[in-house]
């Protein structure tokens, strides 16, 4: 049968990324407390396409994914990317997996338990002489406005917000990439805000969380700086992009703050 994809294209225009997206696939990720967690990821895979080729072989992306559907972490993503490059004869390959990650959370007073979901992503790229991996975690938080607290006779307005962290780790002396748990980033974001968000709260818990937020007012600028300070102090982290968003409760808009940082002398794998 004719291989149309390998036909010569005369427009002389290389393509940066071409591949498959909006694909749902079951994966298994590492869980700090339970070792492994099954979830479903939305997958995007791509390669570069030299100017002389008309198209790429889309089915080969699915073949590679099906062959590597066990553990999917920063430890296994390089193998998947190398397989994509090899199977499609590409100089550069990329993969993005976006998935919900569930943690059992206990209410602060009653201990009532419920499952909390966090939107996470693994983003990897590979070229002939380098590989890159970024972990992204989005954490819902509670914030209370310091200005509102300072100027009001009683009370203060608060809002639910989100902290999204994109983190790239460095490597140890033996060349192995440092590892960061999703749970660590969840805790870091919650400590940076006025109070955590819980899946299940009884009245005693609501009282506790309300007062906790009141005692820890934080602007969106405070939250993003708190996260940045903590990540910069972590020797495992070589680069991060942090964004905090507060969905204002008394304004017809949201507010956000973003910080990007890279450790001097850091190099990608």
How far apart CA 125 and CA 67 sit, in angstroms, is 18
Output the CA–CA distances (angstroms, integers) from residue 188 to 42, 101, 179, in the order listed: 25, 16, 15
Q: Provide the 3-class DSSP secondary structure of residue 50.
A: coil
The residue among 133, 113, 137 whose CA lies nearest residue 123 is 133
pLDDT of 223 reads 98
The CA distance from 41 to 45, in Å, is 12
**pTM exceeds 0.85, yes or no:** yes
Q: Distance between alpha carbon 18 and the CA centroid of its chain, in Å?
A: 22
What's the distance, CA 133 to chain centroid? Answer: 11
Query: What pLDDT was estimated at residue 4?
Result: 57
pLDDT in tens, the chain (269 residues): 555 566 666 677 888 899 999 999 999 999 999 999 999 999 999 999 887 777 788 899 999 998 887 777 778 888 999 999 999 889 999 999 999 999 999 999 999 999 999 999 999 999 988 899 999 999 999 999 999 999 999 999 999 999 999 999 998 888 888 999 999 999 999 999 999 999 999 999 999 999 999 999 999 999 999 999 999 999 999 999 999 999 998 999 999 999 999 998 877 66
Q: Which two tokens stand for residue 25?
A: 């696939």
pLDDT of 81: 94
Looking only at Cα atoms, what is the longest distance across the chain? 79
Look up tokens 């009884």; give the residue.
Answer: 202
For residue 114, the cross-strand partners are 105
Q: How many residues in total does the chain contain?
A: 269
Domains with residue ranges and CATH for the chain: 4-262 (3.10.270.10)
137 in Cβ contact with 165 (< 8 Å): yes
Give SS3 for 73: coil
Let me know how many helices (H) and strands (E) the chain has, helices first: 6, 9
DSSP 93-128: EEEEEEEEEEEEEE-TTT--EEEEEEEEEEEEEEET
State the residue for tokens 């591949």.
Answer: 19
Q: Which of 110, 234, 214, 245 is nearest to 170 (CA)?
A: 234
Task: Evaluate whether 39 touches 100 at the Cβ level (below 8 Å).
Answer: yes
Tokens at residue 170, please?
């460095």
Q: Which residues of 230-256 are buried (b: 16+ CB within 10 A; e: fewer)?
A: bbeeeebbbbbbbbbbbebeeeeeebe
Do 185 and 138 contact (CB within 8 A), yes or no? Answer: no
Q: How many CA atoms lie within 13 A of 15 on its CB side?
A: 16
Angle, in degrees to the nearest 10, between helices 59-67 and 77-88: 150
């Amino acid at each position: 049968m004719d291989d149309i994809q390998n036909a010569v294209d005369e427009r002389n225009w290389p393509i940066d990324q071409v591949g498959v997206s909006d694909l749902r696939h079951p994966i298994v990720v590492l869980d700090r407390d339970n070792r492994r967690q099954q979830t479903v990821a939305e997958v995007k895979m791509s390669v570069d396409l030299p100017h002389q080729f008309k198209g790429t072989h889309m089915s080969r992306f699915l073949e590679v994914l099906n062959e590597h559907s066990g553990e999917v972490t920063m430890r296994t993503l390089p193998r998947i990317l190398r397989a994509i490059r090899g199977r499609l004869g590409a100089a550069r390959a990329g993969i993005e997996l976006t998935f919900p990650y569930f943690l059992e959370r206990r209410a602060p007073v009653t201990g009532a338990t419920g499952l909390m979901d966090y939107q996470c992503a693994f983003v990897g790229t590979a070229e002939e002489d380098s590989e890159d991996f970024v972990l992204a975690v989005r954490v819902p938080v509670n914030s209370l406005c310091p200005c509102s607290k300072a100027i009001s006779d009683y009370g203060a307005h608060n809002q639910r917000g989100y902290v999204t962290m994109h983190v790239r780790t460095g490597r140890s002396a033996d060349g192995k990439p440092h590892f960061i748990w999703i749970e660590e980033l969840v805790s870091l974001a919650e400590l940076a805000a006025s109070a955590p968000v819980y899946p299940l709260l009884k009245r005693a818990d609501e009282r506790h969380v309300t007062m906790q937020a009141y005692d820890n007012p934080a602007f969106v600028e405070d939250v993003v700086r708190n996260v940045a300070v903590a990540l910069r102090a972590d020797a495992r982290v070589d680069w991060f992009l942090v964004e905090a968003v507060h969905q204002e409760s008394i304004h017809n808009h949201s507010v956000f703050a973003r910080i990007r940082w890279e450790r001097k002398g850091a190099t990608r794998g």
